[in-house]
Structure 1
Amino acid sequence: MKRDYLLAVPLVVALLIPASTRSVADEILASANTADRVSPPRLGDDDASLRLAPDSVISETEKLTAHHQELKRLVQQAQASLDQCRHQVRDYTCTFLAQERVDGRLEPTKRCQAKVRHIYPEDENDDVSTNIYIKFQSPKSMHGREVLWDSHANDGRMLVRKGGKVLGFMTAMIEPSSMLAMQGNRYTIHEFGIRRLLERIVDVGNAELSVEHVRVQSRPDVEINGRKCQYFEVVHPVRQEHLPFHIAKVYVDNELRLPILFEAFDWPEGESEDPVLMERYLYCDLKLNVGLTDADFDRSNPEYQFH
């Protein structure tokens, strides 16, 4: 598995044939018709729109800087969203777009349709049962690829139909962490989805509170693909080897109260260069509690092409 960068949301398996490299980082947003609206300017310390007032919930106000207070607010909001996910969100569908840098190479944009269902046990100490179905639309080398995964079945393996033009009909059970499954991907299927993203925000955000040099800023109304979002930007201005990123950006849908876009950047290679994109994930057309059933995660579903 690749390095565990902050808040990362995984994209599932790339099999056999690496995709082409003709895409650029911003294609993931352009393909969702958001390129002209999705990247607000970097915020300055004197930006009047920043909401850096202490949150009344924070008891350590005197000990925290304004930036740490804002980070605390982000973590608290993520925890509230995670609680909402656990108690109110049974399933969802979406169009998922992702671009990742793997082994120093920026992979092309991947676009897929996804169905996700979580079954929560009565005992909170027991594992959550997760079902995922994914069908890729692009790039061309992955078009038609299908992935079906039940966290509590098949010894954790995924059912994968390869897709693409070459032997696209091939179907096999694949171990998520195998070299074959990880080709062109930063993370395994275990990391896929909004719930996992929120867990990372909470876990790593709490750890960030102990980092001395961290800058956190926000805006309340940034438009992403026609959705109003809160925008959080977390910056490590001083490069340190143990820090997982230089800049992380989180966009939380104001209505759904869930993150729909995440971006992480590494430090620039030179002083005059731009930060390096590590990963970017976008959830479009997110629909909650649509009533997914066992048939949506059955390989014999007539809408699927598993053999």
Structure 2
Amino acid sequence: MKRDYLLAVPLVAVLFIPASTRLIADEILASANTADRVSSPRLSDEEASLRLSPDSLIPETKKLTAHQQELKRLVKQAQASLDRCRQQVQDYTCTFLAQERVDGRLGPTKRCQAKVRHTYPEDENDDVSTNIYIKFQSPKSIHGREVLWDSHANDGRMLVRKGGKVLGFMTAMIEPASMLAMQGNRYPIHEFGIRRLLERLVDVGNAELSVEHVLVQSRPNVEINGRKCQYFEVVHPVRQEHLPFHIAKVYVDNELRLPILFEAFDWPEGESEDPVLMERYLYCDLKLNVGLTDADFDKSNPEYQFH
């Protein structure tokens, strides 16, 4: 799959992350104490026939219209959440968990503490200023790694303390999209966060409205990590090379009205196998508008270990 896969909420770029190929796919949710998770869908005989026969058509036009109407509702809700995020959410803190497949290999679950602040300019034509601080807790190979990024400072570079047991004290300014920074990651740091996730959902959702074979379902009150969520699932039963995913799942917190879990799957390698996890991002303990200050994004903060 392409690295510019549109529906993702990306993990921050970091240094020297080893790949891992033998991890349980549900580790990220188990470690977050997730309950009552919605399982991967089992397609009906009719839907399965679409996957096996790309040239066939959904026989019931009325059914296709219903799915597209549900997709329109999803896009409308994503746009409303994005508007809320832009107008009412200045900053937030969270525990962030992510698992990604890079170059065909599923990496380990990464867990970190994150602080994010957006400063919106008076002139709508000016860029939003974004500050991000991240400290990794696991895996052990990057424990203690810290990342600090200001979108309007240091020519866009990020400050990274390597962490881990080997030369963990090393600190350097890194280009977010450089080969070193992207090692083991699908996306650079400027793609990190809930606001970027919502922007992607809106853009891709609008594009999905023109896709002929798309199946959409939603469920209320699905519990994720103790939070009640509305669940949306988009499935492409017909495999086509230009489509970025087979299944995408979005869980929107009912109280916060923001997505807290996103999952994307590629098509299974065999018809009897399960879909292949591409990426999974989970926001836990999400706290909005906590009043983050410049000190939270200052490398000299005594709670940080930049050198």
Q: TM-score, normalised to structure 2's length? A: 0.91
Q: CA deviation at 1:7?
A: 1.9
Deviations 1:99-126 (A, max 9, x none): 0000000000000000000001112221
Which secondary structure state, in structure 1, belongs to the residue aligned with residue 4 of structure 2?
coil
Q: Distance in 2 between matches of 1:294 and 1:20?
A: 36
Q: CA deviation at 1:67?
A: 0.3
Is the CA contact (8 Å cut-off) linking 2:96 and 2:111 kept in structure 1? yes
Q: Distance in 2 between matches of 1:24 and 1:122?
A: 47
Q: TM-score, normalised to structure 1's length? A: 0.91
Between 1:7-16 and 1:84-93, the stretch displaced more is 7-16
Is the CA contact (8 Å cut-off) linking 2:36 and 2:222 kept in structure 1? no
Q: CA deviation at 1:6?
A: 3.5
Q: Distance in 1 between matches of 2:2 and 2:166?
A: 27
Distance 1:22 1:51, change over 3 A: closer
Q: Distance in 1 between matches of 2:236 and 2:15?
A: 35
Which secondary structure state, in structure 1, belongs to the residue aligned with residue 84 of structure 2?
helix
What is aligned with 2:192?
Answer: 192
Deviations 1:213-263 (A, max 9, x none): 000100011000000000000000000000000000000000000000000
Q: Distance in 2 between matches of 1:40 and 1:302?
A: 45
Is the CA contact (8 Å cut-off) linking 1:52 and 1:66 kept in structure 2? no
Distance 1:260 1:42, change over 3 A: farther
Between 1:20-29 and 1:207-216, the stretch displaced more is 20-29
Between 1:179-188 and 1:41-50, the stretch displaced more is 41-50
Distance 1:305 1:216, change over 3 A: same
Distance 1:185 1:47, change over 3 A: closer
Is the CA contact (8 Å cut-off) linking 2:51 and 2:239 kept in structure 1? no
Is the CA contact (8 Å cut-off) linking 1:53 and 1:66 kept in structure 2? no
Deviations 1:37-82 (A, max 9, x none): 4647658699999999999999999997000000000000000000
Distance 1:72 1:172, change over 3 A: same
Deviations 1:148-200 (A, max 9, x none): 00000000000000000000000000000001000000000011000000000
Misfit runs of 4+, over 6 Å: 43-64
User: What is the count of residue pairs matched by the alignment?
Assistant: 307
Is the CA contact (8 Å cut-off) linking 1:38 and 1:224 kept in structure 2? no
Deviations 1:190-213 (A, max 9, x none): 110000000000001000000010
Q: Distance in 2 between matches of 1:228 and 1:249?
A: 15
Which secondary structure state, in structure 1, belongs to the residue aligned with residue 216 of structure 2?
strand
Identity rate, percent: 91
Q: Distance in 2 between matches of 1:186 and 1:287?
A: 26
What is aligned with 1:221?
Answer: 221
Is the CA contact (8 Å cut-off) linking 2:48 and 2:237 kept in structure 1? no
Q: Distance in 2 between matches of 1:106 and 1:243?
A: 20
Is the CA contact (8 Å cut-off) linking 1:113 and 1:137 kept in structure 2? yes
Structure 2's unaligned 5+ residue stretches are: none
